[in-house]
Chain A
Amino acid sequence: MNHYKLSISEINKLFKDKKLKPSELYSEVFERAANTESIIHGHLTLFQDENIKKAADADKRYENGTELGILDGIPIAIKDNINIAGYATTCSSQMLSNYISPYDATVITKLKDEGVMFTGKTNLDEFAMGSSTENSAFGPTKNPWDPSRVPGGSSGGSAAVVSAGSAIASLGSDTGGSIRQPASFCGVVGFKPTYGTVSRFGLVAFASSLDQIGPITNNVEDSKILFNSMKGFDPFDATSGKESKTKQPKLKNAKIGIIKELMEDGISEDAKLEVQKVAKLLESQGHEIVEVSLPLTKMSISIYYLIAPAECSANLSRFDGVRYGNRVAGNTSYEMMENTRAEGFGPEVKKRILLGTYALSAGYYDAFYGQALKARAMMKKEFTETYKEVDYLISPTTPSDPFKFGEKSDNQLEMYMSDLCTIPANLVGMPAISIPTGLSSNGLPLSVQIMSPANTDNTLLEFSQKLESVVSFTSLPEIKGDVS
């Protein structure tokens, strides 16, 4: 029997009942990786040999009844922009191809304390900038459902390995949809928590007012387990929040708003039909469905592509060939810096750095960056007002099912539009989850996104768990060329 698609709680029960050992599951997951990685390329590095002893230690803990918790012995993959001490953190960039992290990210420390074993580091668009993993300096990840299609991005590797079964769950980071969009494309669950609930210390920064670490899992319950094991105040992250008492949305007889602007032009018929199907299911469960209008969501791409590149241009200024990363020689420090950055960064990263530098430069700051900040504040107000009327918001996660490699790489605006539905949650800081609910007319996964007010993460997860059980999406990819 294969165990790699079981839930974490089911695996934990098997461990406790001595019907499965962590070392056996670990072997199974690596066998799965051996059978699928040559097709999928989800992991950049696999931590196989170094975990043999850790798996044996976990076996002993379960034998002695001294296991560390529900995550003890669970193999989890980590996006390669999150630091694990002693291992490379490349961000899928030539700039950091030789970087070895001297410290653990806070989320890694927390997961280690719970006995999690890491399968390895997963592929991403360079520095998390992209929606397809086509921007990885180390080659793209393929979608397990159809290797001619992208897995989404930027956490494409993290989503693909969970879908393919070479990890039980994974961590990603989400700046404009980078957890939810690939989770949707790969038919798995992706959760972006409220901004500030999960520490970002040890995550390589892209856009600091938007970045958030979160889980990608086979089901909502696993996301809930991982979120609760990682959340909490961290003095090393200045944006980390302390738990506050917040009015929670209703779990029964809730009012759910379909966002009108995310059901219009640019959204495929399949994606719209999926939301309507789920809305009917929710109605049959006693919830009320209403249409709500949030006009500024139409502007979210423009707002995001001013704020995120502006923050990226500041954050990535640290890659100057002095303290870490690769260096290309120059006669002066400045020349060395220019040469290093020219060679180390790929085309999309250069484009976003330049866009951000332009938006922040004298004469353009007020018209672009300042205006984007004002619009963001207005958008937040729109959402706050709407949440006075509804408990949750629903939309497609992505405008369409997974697209083919190269289909959007020559049309940057179309590529940026693939984050249309996911960006608002980052701009206003609220939690959002993508749940697979059906297949498109192409036989590829489609998902819906559910959002709720900031700091209502566990209620959103509980609500989503109920929805998931009603939808009952059980389809799995058949990986072409998989020899297992």
Chain B
Amino acid sequence: MTDKIDIKNVAKLAALNLTTEEENKLEKDLSMIIDHFAALSEMNLPDEKISIHPLGTPLNLADDEAIIFLSHEEALSNAPESSDGQFVVPPSLD
């Protein structure tokens, strides 16, 4: 059995503002899923070489050169708010 999930803290980490109703439902749902993981987390598994690529292939990283893929205008075309060619956001501090 796993620890009780601290839903408020996890929601804070995930930047999700949940209602009390959502918190109650998600806490119950997530606890059920996490309990299901118990068999896996208790398995004694050897330290295998872990790769993020399922085939273990090295990632193809691009050369460190700037390319113009989208114009400035295109990059801003979906912004909820922009001004003078920049994204506009509310202040970072109160």
- Contact size range, B: 35 or more
Chain B residues with CB below 8 A from A429, complex form? 53-55
* Nearest chain A residue, comparing its CB with the CB of B35: A413
Give B1 Cβ to nearest chain A Cβ, in Å.
12
Chain A, range 331-373, C-beta contacts under 8 Å to B = 331-339, 341-342, 345, 347, 350-351, 353-355, 357-358, 361, 367-368, 371-373
Q: Is the CB of B14 within 8 A of A353?
A: yes
CA–CA, A350 to B89, complex, Å? 23
Q: How many A-B residue pairs have CB under 8 A?
A: 176
In the complex, B64 has a CB within 8 A of chain A: no
Give A98 Cβ to nearest chain B Cβ, in Å.
8
Given contacts A327-B80, A341-B15, A374-B50, contact A196 B55 (CB under 8 A): yes
Q: Is the CB of A302 within 8 A of B36?
A: yes
Chain B residues with CB below 8 A from A357, complex form? 10, 13-14
B66-87 contact mask (Cβ, 8 Å, vs A): 1 or 0: 0001100011011111000001
CA–CA, A415 to B26, complex, Å? 16
Given contacts A327-B80, A327-B81, contact A196 B30 (CB under 8 A): no
Q: Is the CB of B40 within 8 A of A303?
A: yes
Q: Is the CB of A322 within 8 A of B89?
A: yes
Q: Is the CB of A323 within 8 A of B10?
A: no
Q: Is the CB of A367 within 8 A of B32?
A: no
Q: Is the CB of A377 within 8 A of B51?
A: yes
Q: B interface, by DSSP: helix, strand, loop or mixed?
A: loop
* Nearest chain A residue, comparing its CB with the CB of B81: A327
A169-212 contact mask (Cβ, 8 Å, vs B): 1 or 0: 00000000000000000000000001110000000000011100
* Nearest chain A residue, comparing its CB with the CB of B40: A302
In the complex, A321 has a CB within 8 A of chain B: yes
Chain B residues with CB below 8 A from A302, complex form? 36-37, 39-40
CA–CA, A454 to B56, complex, Å? 11
Q: Is the CB of A367 within 8 A of B18?
A: no
Q: Is the CB of B33 within 8 A of A305?
A: yes
Of B16, B47, B53, B81, the contact of A350 (CB 8 Å cutoff) = B16
Interface centre among B37, B59, B77 (most CB of A within 10 A): B37
Q: Is the CB of B80 within 8 A of A235?
A: no
Give A400 Cβ to nearest chain B Cβ, in Å.
20
In the complex, B20 has a CB within 8 A of chain A: no
In the complex, A427 has a CB within 8 A of chain B: yes
Q: Is the CB of B92 within 8 A of A332?
A: yes
Chain B residues with CB below 8 A from A354, complex form? 7, 10-11, 14, 16, 26, 30
Give B55 Cβ to nearest chain A Cβ, in Å.
5
A-B residue pairs, 9 tightest by C-beta: A429-B54, A377-B48, A327-B80, A324-B78, A338-B17, A342-B17, A302-B40, A102-B74, A357-B14
Interface residues, chain A, with chain B CB atoms under 8 Å away: 98-100, 102-103, 194-196, 208-210, 233, 235, 237-241, 299, 301-303, 305-306, 313, 317, 320-327, 329-339, 341-342, 345, 347, 350-351, 353-355, 357-358, 361, 367-368, 371-378, 380-381, 412-413, 426-429, 454
